[in-house]
Amino acid sequence: MLDFLKSEPQNIVVVGDAFVRPETMERAVRASRVNAAEVSRVFWGNEDKDDFAARQMNLEKNGPEAEPWAEGLAPLLKDCTVLMTHFSPVPRGLIDRAPKLRAVLTCRGGMEHIDVKAAGERKIPVINVIRNAVPVAEFALGLMLAMTRNIASSHHRLMEGEWLKEFPNSGFVSTLGSLTVGLVGLGNVGMELAIRLKALEVPLIVQDDYLDRDRMKRNGLGDVTIVETKEDVFRLADLVSLHLRLTPETRGIIDQSCFSLMKPSSYLINTARGGIVNQADLIDALRRHAIAGAALDVFDREPLTPEDGFAGLDNVVITPHIAGATVDAIPNSPFLLMRTVDKILTQGLKDRIVNYKEIFSD
């Protein structure tokens, strides 16, 4: 399948940035089973992490054509056989200028910065890594507790000098095990969260258009209730946690039609992508107390400002897109990525390749 990566010398180009260093990428490549004959290092952007965040948001919203690829990369494309990137874009134009390119590797889970379709047309496999599934799952669990038990709200009021014991959701407060949690999306993060909720004996319902039942069984989730539609989740769950990718099909998919199905005692948790939620509809539901509350780490526009509408709401917990921000997840992601590549090489795990169905259509 991808045996050429270890059987033939590869001319590898690594493109690092302010968060994932190209030196770390090279070390990870050379520590793997890939036959790295030559490794060229390129840096995308600059050391300003705020500038990086703005570029990242642009790519996530508008795709790989939205930002220029790394300066100094073009001359290396002629002989490049493996391209490894973090967030530096890989648009069709780059792929077209790399006649020898045989694999694209990326140190993250999202694919917004890569033209996967263009790679598939050339039968070039794209391999990613889910570097922060556990951190995000743990954070989502933390948001559930912070929201339902008023941990964040009571802290905020105490810091303002108020000894408050009554909150908008006081009539709904209960233990997590008394609530039904519904997961919309059961990919890597959703799976990790489900495992933790199951261990806490929390009732679960899940919905995913591409549900992997075998994977559920392998993770001890074979008896979890599966529902057919996201609407079923919003109707039945006390806590709805979103774990969807942001695509043209999912943008704004969680809107008033979903919120109208929720019980007045229900909560929304979003650690996935802000763009999947119609933010105006959510704010309206929160203002009217049509739902008990929401806990959000992601927003349609970042960084969030007071003008975005959440200021003054007493039934929301918001955090600045930090669910995956542990000290080790991002900087060490090249090593996680290359361990994934090694598993493909040794175990033939085609499902670890983003576009494997297109590449290996047989």
Other beta carbons within 10 Å of 217 = 12
CB burial string 184-204: b at 16+ within 10 A, e below: bbbbbbbbbbbeebbeeebbb
For residue 295, the one-letter residue type is A
Number of Cβ within a 10 Å radius of residue 263: 15
98-107: which pairs have CB atoms within 8 A and are 24 or more residues apart?
100/11, 101/77, 102/4, 102/10, 103/2, 103/5, 103/127, 105/337, 105/341, 106/337, 107/20, 107/25, 107/131, 107/333, 107/334, 107/336, 107/337
What tokens appear for 346 in the block? 């040794």
Distance between CA atoms of residues 219 and 197, nearest Å: 12
DSSP character string of 199-224: HTT--EEEE-TT--HHHHHHTT-TTS
Q: Quote the CA–CA distance of 139 and 136 in Å, as a whole number.
A: 5
Active-site annotation, residues: 273, 302, 321
Answer yes or no: are the C-beta atoms of 149 and 100 closer than 8 Å. no
Euclidean distance between CA atoms 117 and 106, whole angstroms: 15
Q: Among 295, 293, 284, which Cα is nearest to 318's?
A: 295
Cα 22 to Cα 84, 114, 334: the distances in Å are 9, 18, 9
Residue 277 to residues 46, 139, 169, 233, 294: CA-CA distances in angstroms?
A: 31, 19, 22, 15, 12
* 243 backbone dihedrals φ, ψ, rounded to 5°: -145, 60
The residues facing 254 across adjacent strands are 277
The CA-to-CA distance between both ends of the chain, in Å, stands at 12
- Cis-peptide into 306, omega within 30 deg: no
